Structure formats: structure tokens, C-alpha cells
Structure 1
Amino acid sequence: MTIAAGVNAGEFRAVDVVEDALARIAARDGDLRAFREVWPERARRAARLVDAAGRPLPLAGVPLGVKASERPGSAQVARLVAAGCVPVGATAVPEKGTTAWQTWGHTDRGPTVNPWRADRTPGGSSAGSAAAVAAGLVPLATGVDGAGSVRIPAAWCGVVGVKVTNPDPGRLTAPGPLAGSVADAAAYLGIAVAADAGTADADAAAVRAVWSADLGFADVDEGVVAVARSAAGRLFAAGVTRVDHDLALEDPAATWLALRRGDRADRAVNDERLAAAFEVADVVLTPTAPVSAHGHDGPGDAMSVSLTWAFNLSGHPAASVPAGLGPDGVPVGLQVVGRHGAEETVLRVAAMLAGVVTMLDGHGGNDHG
């Protein structure tokens, strides 16, 4: 990362980088409400330790938002700190005890808002992490994805979000980053979850992809699908080989809910259908979410996770990469799903996509504010 390279080269100090991040949070987070807590003294102490380390660190001085439900002691945060990251605060997650559909982050100052449109939610549950990265408050933030909790807010906030291969096949959740770029996400993954996450230039023609607008069952908004389809088309135009394959999954809702309750559930049908798809293709491409970011009064009948939670059940790695802006001016994500353990392939395709898709109105990535 650029920050780490500068700190390691002595061009600037970690304490100065962290002071800049704290100043941005103080100036901008009053309305955004991406952070539940800010840890200025803890962050300054950690930055001083980075400056005194006396050796290069792969993520030296990089300010880090920590998902509030995760806290600083988690395994991935501990690895990031050991690599030089400096946690600066706890990012917002939904309030406990609220309705099952609530996806916005909650703070004692009110709900977290989407940096692109304050009347829209950033998605969740890694709401504050996505909003903080999208607004340029921090370059990296942690997330945990159990049904789309990293990928959906990444899509709706116009940043990169990755769910790695589920480390335990019996669990639905997997860790992953919210990042401003594919390269930053790869750097995070190489440290936090020891994923093979290189993003070296690839021969596009060597990558085969299946496109699916709805995975055979989801109710999707055509305006959102059009943006994702266009992004997939740019990949095909850049040399990725499109494979015609009728990928039609069963709706995973009942299975996901049963497993979440601890009940037995049969995943065999979708596992077999995905295995067949990955026999002929390296990645599956879909919209990340079937609809655009909804307002703070809820999603109505829309099932925001319908295109993501199948891959929590199957365990496949998946990334959301910015695909462009929807008709309402809110970002849309393209989901890139790979074979088990193939994070490197997922990120190679994500990097190709980042090279051919740009936000059109000058507010993309972390240029907000």
C-alpha cells in the first residue's frame, strides 16, 4: 500500500498518517455516523510503536476501522496490527433487537448513512466499515460476512468487499475486508486470513466466466442488473471468455435459515449445480445485490441477500467490485465468485474489472467529502 511504502521509506511517519485520519473522522463523521467509537489515544500510541519498530512492516501506519461486533481482539485484527495497521475506531453495525431486515449501522447519534445519498442505507451489517472507506475516512476496514454482510455494503457504497472461502465448512460466516481498491483488499487478505491474494496481471483470455443475472430464482431490479451486466460485458470485451451455462440454483433462503438456527439442512442440490458451473468456468459473475440501496425505512419486499447468501452456504470466495452507478445515482456492485480457495483468481478478475469500470460523476471510491 502507498501509505505503508511511505512510512517504511521514512517519507512520513505513522503518527502523522493517523492524525490525518483522526482529523478526517472529526470533520466528516458527524453526519455520516460511520463510527460508533473513535480511539484517538490508543491509535496514537499504536502509531508511535509502528514508527519505533525499526523494521519495515507490510501495512505500516495504515489506519484501520474495526467492525464494532468484532472488536480489536479478533484474529484478523491482531494479524493486521502485527503487520503495522493502526485501529482508529469501531465502525457501526445494526442495533441489537431491531427488526430482522434492518441493514443500516446504528450509533448513539443516529443511523449510518450512505456517503452517496444520505437518504439511503449503506447496507450491512458491515455498514460503518463500508461507509468509512467510501468516504475516505480510512483506507481499510474489517468485516465479517454471514449472508452478504461485507459484499452488500461494498456494493452500495462503491468500494471493494471480499468474503474469503469459508474457513469452516460448517459455518456460514467468513472474514473479509472493505477496501478502496482491489490491491488494498489483496494486501489485507494476505495478512489477515493468509489468503493467496496476489493480483498480478493476468491473461484475460485464460479466464472463463459464467454470467447470471438472477442465479435462476432471485427477483432482480432491471436497472441494477443493467449496470452489472454492462460491467461484465466490459470484462468480456477485455478478453475474458464468456461461457454459456444455465446456472439455476434453488432459492437458499430456507436452507440458510435452518443452518442459522442450528438445524440440519441439505445443501447438496446447489453444491452440485455450482460444481458443474466451476467445471466449465473459473468464476461466476452476478450483480452483488438484486436491488439498489433502500431508504432508512426498510427494504419493503426486497431480499437484499438473495444473490450473496448462496455462497455463504457453499463456502465459495466472492468479491463485490464497483460496477458503476445505478439510475438513482447509488453504486452497483458486480459479484465475482470463484472456486474454493481461489481468492487469487477472484481478485485477478476484480482487478481487471477495476481497470475497465470507473464511476462517472467524480464521486467514486473514497473521493467523498
Structure 2
Amino acid sequence: MTEATGPTETLTAVAQALERIGRLDPGLGAFIEVWPAEALAREPAARHLPLRGLPFAVKGPAGIRSYAARRLIAAGGVPVGATSVPGPGTYWQTWGQGPHGRTVNPWRADRTPGGSSAGSAVAVAAGMVELATGSDGAGSVRVPAAWCGVFGLKTTNGLLPSPDRTGLASAGVLARSAAGAEPFLRHVLEGYEEPAAPPLPLPAVYSEDLGYADVDPEVAAVVRAAVDRLVASGTVRLVEHGCELLDPAGAWQAVRGGAPGTPEAVAVRRANDDRLAALFAAVPLLLTPATPNRPHGHEGPGELYSTALTWAFNLSGHPAASLPAGFTGDGCPVGLQLVAARGTDARLLATARAVEGALPPVRR
């Protein structure tokens, strides 16, 4: 006797995505707009292109006009909706806001999903789409990826067109896994060539705090356990090499505020660039926690910067990714950040695939 066919098994990929959005999004608030008619109309022609009608989401109301979205559509991707971002006047808050209310973390509704690519991370984590675009100016892809238990990649600054005049923000992608993010680089990045799997073990430096951050001990323990697992599996070989950076908070804020030439900003960027250049001359990979804290409540993070471990690499321009490392005791996902030399985005993605293959998969 054969098992009965479920109602979604006869639906196309786009129809399945729309069905899940309609069923799940009222409780999660990941989308600000959904485009069922347009998506279903695009799908038949898209099936004959390389992405074969892959449904994806775009970040925010302007996401459909982004370079990445246009490239994905040209390759046969089908945009199904725009995801939530923080509302006006909430510069420090990392939740999104949509017609169903605020965006909630799919693992714990009383916690934020992170941001500003909040809805993109939630849509991927809940399986509403397999891939979503994002942008990252301080950690806006990596923080929600970490807190929603998905993969998130910030590309090398300047590698892809960005409307951010400060140069801090770069395009990114959120997906269920590093493998799931590969179509983004393949079809968005000009001249992309899939790299060979990296030889193992990968030489890497691990830094819990980058020399300045105050990290939640349980978050640090989860990430350290993941790193130890990578070492035990022969995936990573830790190298004794310091990574003591200067706290980039003031420099980042100066650049964002339009004053990149202040003495503090210039000195911090120069010092950190020199230290990172020395590190990546010695090893190809830096490992850190993605965030210093676990997801906070919807009232906000207080005085703590959730971006403390991410925004250094928006200043320096290095590509960086977050992948699931495990969970804290209260059920919150924790992210492991991988950082590589500038311009090695494809190699970083291949490295992330090797790393995630040695870690336990995250249940949906």
C-alpha cells in the first residue's frame, strides 16, 4: 500500500512557497508584501532557465530593484514577496515590522529574529522560501542568520553594486545551508567559478571576542564546542595566532555618520586592516561567534551592541558568513562566524560547506 500523497506534493515550487507563506506568515510576520499572481505568472517561463523557477524572497520594499534580485530573476528565480525590515525611527531595534505586526523569531516568538534582514531570515528558517536576499552594513545578514539558525553570507564590500554611499553595506544572501546559498553567488557574481573542495584540515584562527567584545559565556561555550567538534573531525586545524582588534564601534559610527576622515576612524581602520592582513597571510580562515549575545526580547538590546563581532568586517570589507553552531539552554540558535580574505567569497562558501558538513544539522 502506498502512502497517501500530501496536498502540497502536487503543487509547483512557487505554489508550495505561497501556500506556506499563507499558512505560516500570519504568526511570524516575515513578509511585508506577497506577490502570488505575479509569481505564478513568471514560473512557467522561469522553469526553462538555470534556476528553474526557484522561489525566493527579497529584502524590504526596495529589494525587488536590487542588483541581486535582477540577476536571480534573469537566471530563472521567481520572487514571491518582500520581507520585513525595521520600521522608521527604530535605528537600534532589530525586529521587522509588517502588516501582521512585528516579526518574531521562529524558535522563540518572545525574541527578536535579528536584523535588519529580519524577515528574510525568518522566511528561510520557517521554510517559506529556500533563499532570500539581504544586505549587511553592520551584521544585518549575519546577526539574523545566527539568531534564526540559518546560513547567511555578507559578500566582500564593493564586490556587488550597493546603494550605500558609505561603503559599509554589501549584498548578502540567507539560505537553509551554505550549499543552498551557492545559486546566489553562481548567478549574481560575474565570472563565478565554483572552487574545488578545500583540503582538510583547514588552518584557522579562533577568537572568542576579537580582543574587545563582551561575549555571553553560554554563547561562547556553544561556539567553542562547535569549533572543538570541527577540530576533532579533522575539518579544522587551529593555529596559534592572535586576533586582537581595536573596538570598531566609534569608527563604524563615524563612517556611517559621514565623517570617515576623523582621526579615530582612520587610526582604528588602519590598525585593524594591518592586523587582519597579517592574520590572513598566515591562515585562510578566522572563526568567531557571530554575535556576543543570544536573541533579546522585542523591547530591544539595551546598551549592548549585537553587532560587536560583525561590524569590524564591514569596516575592513572582508567577506564573512554565519552558520548554525548549536543552541543555548533556553532554545536560542547560536551562529559561528567565518571570515576570509577579501575577494575570496566563492572559496569562503566552499569552506562553509565543509564546516557545516561536520556539524549537526539544524532541524526545521
- The normalised TM-score by structure 2 is 0.91
TM-aligned CA deviation for residue 195 of structure 1: 7.2
Identity of aligned residues (%): 52
Aligned to 1:71: 63
Aligned to 2:295: 293
Aligned to 2:228: 233
3-state SS, counterpart of residue 345 of structure 1: helix
**For residues 103-252 of structure 1, what are the structure 2 equivalents within 5 Å?**
103-167=94-158, 171-194=167-190, 196=192, 198=194, 200-205=196-201, 207-239=202-234, 240-252=236-248
3-state SS, counterpart of residue 236 of structure 1: helix
TM-aligned CA deviation for residue 203 of structure 1: 1.7
What is the alpha-carbon distance in structure 2 between the residues aligned to residue 19 and residue 165 of structure 1? 34
Matched, 1:86 2:78: yes
Give the direction of change, closer, same or farther, for the CA distance of 1:124–1:302 in structure 2 (3 Å limit): same
Give the direction of change, closer, same or farther, for the CA distance of 1:158–1:110 in structure 2 (3 Å limit): same
> Is the 2:29–2:99 contact (alpha carbons within 8 Å) kept by the matching residues of 1?
no
Give the direction of change, closer, same or farther, for the CA distance of 1:104–1:237 in structure 2 (3 Å limit): same
> Is the 2:44–2:53 contact (alpha carbons within 8 Å) kept by the matching residues of 1?
no
What is the alpha-carbon distance in structure 1 between the residues aligned to residue 141 and residue 100 of structure 2? 23
TM-aligned CA deviation for residue 355 of structure 1: 1.1
> Is the 2:115–2:141 contact (alpha carbons within 8 Å) kept by the matching residues of 1?
yes
What is the alpha-carbon distance in structure 1 between the residues aligned to residue 118 and residue 193 of structure 2? 24
Q: Which amino acid aligns with 1:283?
A: L
Count the aligned residue pairs: 344
Q: 2:54 aligns with which of 54, 62, 69?
A: 62
What is the alpha-carbon distance in structure 2 between the residues aligned to residue 315 and residue 58 of structure 1? 30
Give the direction of change, closer, same or farther, for the CA distance of 1:38–1:351 in structure 2 (3 Å limit): same
What is the alpha-carbon distance in structure 1 between the residues aligned to residue 314 and residue 71 of structure 2? 23
Q: Which amino acid aligns with 2:207?
A: S
What is the alpha-carbon distance in structure 2 between the residues aligned to residue 326 and residue 58 of structure 1? 39
What is the alpha-carbon distance in structure 2 between the residues aligned to residue 69 and residue 254 of structure 1? 30
Aligned to 2:305: 303
Aligned to 1:41: 37
What is the alpha-carbon distance in structure 2 between the residues aligned to residue 145 and residue 304 of structure 1? 13
Give the direction of change, closer, same or farther, for the CA distance of 1:45–1:196 in structure 2 (3 Å limit): same
> Is the 1:112–1:121 contact (alpha carbons within 8 Å) kept by the matching residues of 2?
yes
Matched, 1:23 2:44: no
TM-aligned CA deviation for residue 230 of structure 1: 1.2
Q: Which amino acid aligns with 1:233?
A: D
Q: Which amino acid aligns with 2:190?
A: A
Q: Which amino acid aligns with 1:42?
A: E
Per mean C-alpha deviation after superposition, the further-off stretch among 135-144 and 272-281 is 272-281
> Is the 1:32–1:113 contact (alpha carbons within 8 Å) kept by the matching residues of 2?
yes
3-state SS, counterpart of residue 174 of structure 2: strand
Give the direction of change, closer, same or farther, for the CA distance of 1:101–1:107 in structure 2 (3 Å limit): same
3-state SS, counterpart of residue 208 of structure 1: strand
What is the alpha-carbon distance in structure 1 between the residues aligned to residue 30 and residue 122 of structure 2? 6
What is the alpha-carbon distance in structure 2 between the residues aligned to residue 185 and residue 109 of structure 1? 28
Aligned to 2:350: 348
TM-aligned CA deviation for residue 71 of structure 1: 2.4
What is the alpha-carbon distance in structure 2 between the residues aligned to residue 71 and residue 328 of structure 1? 33
Aligned to 1:6: none
TM-aligned CA deviation for residue 344 of structure 1: 2.7
> Is the 1:186–1:199 contact (alpha carbons within 8 Å) kept by the matching residues of 2?
no
